[in-house]
Each structure stands twice: as structure tokens, then as C-alpha cells.
Amino acid sequence: MRNNDINKEIYPLKQMPELGVVPEYMLAQCIRKSRYGEPKTALKLEKLPVPSKLKPNEVLIYVMAAGVNYNGVWACRGLPVDLIRLFHNRGEQENFHIPGSDCSGIVW
């Protein structure tokens, strides 16, 4: 493993870190309440923190492909359910939502 990979904060799209290296940040298409509306304006590519603590029933996946479905459109609009508010009511702290439930990649 090269030293510059160990200290890298974020990797550009299509550049994979060495196996086992987890960067501090990731690039993801995310939704914020202030942008609720049509997907073309609600979704923005952002630099976000990689989850540092995983729950016992979670895994970290290096996503190589992701599916898009209509649930993502609803999430962008905040209707019929405001997912960010719902997650806050459940105790989550994030003020954004990364839509998607279908992906393929490597369990990291």
C-alpha cells in the first residue's frame, strides 16, 4: 500500500482505494430539504463523510453501480414522506439523504 493512499481524504469517481483503506469522505448524489423538488435540482453530487461507526447489522459497500427507481423521485420531492424528517424522528443526525436501495459493489 502506498503512503499517499493511507492519508487520502477522498478518492475521485472511478478511482478505488487499496483494499481495506476507508477514506474520510465519499462522493455521493444527495438530497437536502432546501433543494426538495424535481430530481434534476434536488440531487447534487457532494463530498460527504463516510460512516465511521457501523451498526451490528450494517456493512460498508464500495458501490460500483446503483439503480434508480421512483422511490428516489419521491425522496427528492419530500412527498409523500419527508425522509429527512422521518430519519430525524428516529434519532438520525444527518441533514441529507442518499437515495437508492439497489447497488452492486464490494463489501469493504
Q: Where are the domains of the chain?
A: 3-107
Question: In angstroms, what CA-CA distances link 68 with 37, 54, 72, 91, 107?
Answer: 16, 24, 7, 26, 20
Judged by average pLDDT, the poorest of 5-14, 27-36, 53-62 is 5-14
Q: How confident is the model at residue 5 (pLDDT cuts 50, 70, 90)?
A: low
Instruction: Give the pTM.
Output: 0.81
pLDDT at 72: 92
Task: Kindly report the number of other CB atoms within 10 A of residue 54's CB atom.
Answer: 9
What is the H or E stretch that residue 39 is in? Answer: helix 39-42
Question: Half-sphere exposure of residue 27, counting CA atoms within 13 Å on the CB side?
Answer: 10
Q: With a cut of 70, say whether residue 2 has pLDDT above it.
A: no
Calculate mean pLDDT across residues 23-36.
94
Q: Would the pLDDT of 1 be above 80?
A: no
Question: Percent of the chain, pLDDT > 70?
Answer: 94
CATH class of the structural domain 3-107: alpha beta
How much is the mean pLDDT over the chain? 89
Q: From CA 108, how far away is CA 95, in angstroms rounded?
A: 25
Given a cut of 90, whether residue 77 has pLDDT beyond it is yes
